Structure formats: C-alpha cells, structure tokens
Chains A and B, each alone.
Chain A
Amino acid sequence: MKEILERINQQFNCSAHEHQPENLSWVQLDKKQLVPLLSYLKHTENFSHFVLLTAVDWIENNEFQLNYLLTNHELHQDIAIRVMIPRDEPEMITAHHLWQQIATYQREINEMYGINFPNSPRVNESFLLEGWEGIPPMRREFDTKKYSEETFFPRPRQEGKDPQTHMKQKLYPDEE
C-alpha cells in the first residue's frame, strides 16, 4: 500500500497517508483533481469497488466535506478521498461516468445538503424527500426540532402517573 500512496503523492501532489484502522488510507485533494485521481485508482491501481460517497457539513469552517471511499479487493485495502468545497458555492464535479452508482449518491447529497453536481443524471429530480421546500434538511443551520414542532402537531405533554411507580404499584403492590 505504501508504494501506491507514494505514487499518488507524486502524481497528484498531495499527502496521502495511512491511518487507523490498518487497511484504510486517507487522501485530501483539491476538487479539480478528484476525477483524475478516481480514474487513476480505478484503472491503474485496481481499486475497483466504489463503496460510498458521503458529505459532512463543517459550518464553523464554512465548508462541506465530501468523502469518497474505494476498496481494492486484492490487497484488502481501502482508500478514502476527502474533498473540501466551500459552502458559499456548493458545487462539485460529477464522477458518475466512473461508477454508475455515484449518480444515486449524488442525487441523495444534492437533496440532503443542497450540493449541486452539474450534468449528473436526474440529479435535480426529487428522490428521498418528495417535494421538499426550503433549506436542505441535513445542513446544520436547519433546526429539525423547530421544524417538526411547527409542522407535525406535537402532542402536548400529559401530566400523569410516573410509569415506574405506577407499574410497581400495579404489579407488586405488597413490595416496598
């Protein structure tokens, strides 16, 4: 794995390093270099399995983090690629031509975080949240509790018996 990482570092001018657990390595990259790296890993280094694509909202740094996870089944090695994109212009280059399933992940992330992937197939159709309006719900400025209280008729709390003492009295009335 070390040699692979060195080759990556030379070619893409980044600092790929191994990490715990043992068979996972991390690369942080510029957003323009992502697709070349993915295609290099897929075609040259035999990372044939695309595992997942997720996003993280770092609202403090005004950034979104995108994680691409690949696996090489011959070496039993994973490599995670991390791309930071600014929150102000949430846009990322699509990679669906390398693995088809990326299109689905991109659709989901577009809906949940509002990160746009131009030219990804069906990316703007509604997917999980049918007809969602307003801030995408996985962004951290979205207050889900407030939204739920405003939308879903919360049932007022009932003053009543404490369940523990009530059940104790009912089931074991003699015990103290």
Chain B
Amino acid sequence: MSEETKHNNQPENTEESNKFPKEHLQKRTVYSPDGEKIEIDPLQDYYLQDRPERRDPRYRVVEKFLNWARSESLWILGFGTGCGSIELPPLTTPRFDAFRFGIAMRPTPRQSNVFIISGYMSIKTLKRAIRSYEQMPDPKYVVALGSCTINGGMYFDSYNTINRLDKYMPVDVYIAGCMPRPEALIAGFNKLKQRIKEGRAEGANEYVQRFDEYKANQKQIIKDWNMPDYNW
C-alpha cells in the first residue's frame, strides 16, 4: 500500500504478521526440564474452552469469616470509562484516603476483584470491559458509577453508548449522580462491604447462571465479535 502504512507499527497484512515459522504452529511434543512429555498444540487455547462454572461456598462454616475478609480487601481494577475515571484518582489521595477501607488500585484484572464502571460505556469499551470482567477471579463485584450506567444519563439517545449496564454484566451497587463525588464512592463501597458481609454479592455466580442471556445481549450490540466466548 502507500507510504503511510510503512510508518505504522502494525503490519498491514497477515502475511507480514505471520512471521512465525510454520513448524512452530504445528502440533508437537516437547520435553520439560524434568523429562516430562508434553503434547502442545499452539493454535489451541487451553484456558478458554469451557463455560464458566458456578462456585458455591465450599466451607459453609467459615464462609462468614471469609466474606468479612473479602469485604475488607477490595482491589479495584484500574479501568476508567467516562467522566468518572477522573473521580477515582482522588480516592487514593490523603484527603479521601481509600486505603483505610482496604481499597487499592490494581493494574490488571487478574489481581483485582472490584470493577468500577465509571460512567458511560460505548460499545467499543463494553467489549473490552466484558473481557476484563471475565478475566477477574471469583468472587468479583461490579460497582456502577453515575447515572449513565443506570439509564443512559445524558447519553440516553446516543447511538454508541449503552443505556443499562445490568443487561450486560451483573451489578452489585449503583451510585447515582452525575458525577458522584469521591465521598459518594466511599459510601458506595461501604454499601458493597455490607452486601458482601451479608453474602448477597453473588455477581459472579449470577453471571454464570444467566450466562446465555448476558452473552445474547452482548452479542446483539457488539457486531464484530472477534474474541473468544469464554475469557477466563
């Protein structure tokens, strides 16, 4: 193609990007350092093949204690959408000091258990958000911030932003306002803690139970679904 594409870091066509030698993509047997024989198929995704499963509390007796422990360490995924992502950084400053509630920011979904959807959600962002949400380990909680996540807010008639978040992922706590202040966020976190302690924050299990419904809703608006169905 023309000269522009040369400045682009991404290779233009697939021929260029497939730089792996062909034999690297074929099924083969390898040996681990301790002599174990491993069959691998590089084109197969080993972790994403199965539907998620419901996880019931295993230790019923200590579940209350575990819930208390969970409620005291809420680790937020640093994923900002909409205007609300501006309200999140002040939380960690001395003025609001979210650390005293056991709230910390984490950079990756694998290390966090609270997902704050901080405002309007375009279809493009929703796609990424679903991926991130599914990659978070159980138990996980969703806090929806601002009126945009409740009913669309002032983007109710936009062609590109969703109206109701709870159609696409289970929401534990809504915080109303446009935009809620950090105090409101902390109040929301207290509410979330209360729910967790009471054992009512079962979003991950609900997602599993109504998986087909959620997936159908998601696929209805995400037209180019080019990611795996299961993202665990």
Contacts and interface: CB of A to CB of B under 8 A. Distances in A.
Mutual binders A and B: yes
Interface of A: 96-97, 100, 103, 119, 121-122, 126, 128-133, 137, 142, 144-145, 147-149, 151-155
Interface string B144-186: 0000001110001111111110010000000000000000000
A145 B156 CA distance: 8
Given A130-B127, A132-B223, 6 more contacts: A119-B2, A121-B2, A121-B4, A129-B123, A148-B152, A152-B221
B40 interface: no
B130 interface: no
B152 A155 contact: yes
A164 B74 CA distance: 34
Interchain residue pairs A-B with the least CB separation, the first 10: A131-B224, A131-B223, A145-B157, A152-B163, A155-B151, A121-B4, A144-B159, A137-B159, A148-B157, A153-B167
A130 B124 contact: yes
B9 to A, nearest CB: 13
B2, B7, B123, most chain A CB atoms within 10 A: B2
16 contacts: A96-B2, A96-B4, A121-B1, A121-B2, A121-B4, A122-B4, A126-B224, A144-B158, A145-B157, A148-B163, A149-B157, A153-B164, A154-B152, A154-B163, A154-B164, A155-B152
Contact of A151 (B2, B150, B221): B221
B164 A155 contact: yes
A119 B22 CA distance: 33
Interface of B: 1-2, 4-5, 7, 12, 123-124, 127, 150-152, 156-164, 167, 217, 220-224
Contacts of A148: 152, 156-159, 163
Nearest to B224: A131
A147 B159 contact: yes
Nearest to A132: B223
Contact of B123 (A130, A145, A153): A130
A148 to B, nearest CB: 5
A126 B224 CA distance: 10
Contact of B222 (A131, A137, A152): A131
A151 B223 CA distance: 12
Contacts of A130: 123-124, 127, 222-224
Contacts of A103: 4
Contacts of A147: 159
Contacts of A129: 123-124, 160
Contacts of A151: 220-221
A167 to B, nearest CB: 12
Contacts of B223: 130-133
Contacts of A131: 222-224
Nearest to A133: B223
Residue in A126, A137, A153 whose Cβ sees the most chain B Cβ within 10 Å: A153
Nearest to A135: B159
A97 to B, nearest CB: 8
A131 B122 CA distance: 13
Contacts of B224: 126, 130-131
Contact of A154 (B1, B12, B124, B156): B156
A25 B137 CA distance: 59
B5 A121 contact: yes
Point out which of B5, B7, B163, B222 has the most chain A C-beta atoms below 10 A from its C-beta.
B163
Contacts of A149: 157
A100 B151 contact: no
Nearest to A152: B163
Contacts of A97: 2
